[in-house]
Structure 1
Amino acid sequence: MQIDWAILAVVAVVAAAAAVTVVLLVAFALVGLSAGAERRVRGDGVAFRARGTGTALAVLCLLAAGLIVGYGLFLIIF
């Protein structure tokens, strides 16, 4: 039995990168969801709603994290 150490190192690096990416995406989603619902005013006096932007960010981050996890499961199963 031989171990291809170069391939094992590549697999370890990719797995670590995927894990860090998924954790960061979920963290960004939580930050996006925690944006206040109150109306905020920028320095130039233009009002905007932070809740919609934060929710959109959270949805995109969770979708990306789900796709990464789903692709990993696809690689394992098939």
Structure 2
Amino acid sequence: MDLEWSSLGEVVLVSIGATVGVMVVFALGVRALSPQEGRPAALSRAVAGLCFVACAAAVAYGLYLIIPQFH
């Protein structure tokens, strides 16, 4: 059995990058929900909602790629 190390490294880098990206977007959503002066509450909720929807979409896409019955 031969391993293609470059392909394995590519998968590892993409996985780490996607994980960090989802974590950053989720953290931005949580940060947008924190109370701050000078920023409208409706805008904060809208930004947080967009961040959480983006996280959910990334998770759903990952599940779509993993589960073969969805194809």
2:62 is equivalent to residue 75 of structure 1: no
Q: How does 1:45-60 map to 2 (within 5 A)?
A: 50-60=40-50
> What is the Cα-based RMSD across aligned positions, in Å?
1.4
For structure 2, which runs of at least 5 residues remain unmatched after alignment?
none
Greater strand fraction, Structure 1 or Structure 2: 1
TM-score, normalization by structure 2: 0.86
Match of 2:27 in 1: 27
Aligned sequence identity (%): 37
Q: Distance in 2 between matches of 1:16 and 1:51?
A: 33
Q: 1:35, CA displacement in angstroms?
A: 2.9
The residue number in structure 2 matching 1:16 is 16
Query: Unmatched 5+ residue regions in structure 1?
Result: 41-48
Looking at secondary structure, tell me which structure has more helix per residue. 2
TM-score, L = length of structure 1: 0.79
- Structure having the higher Rg: 1
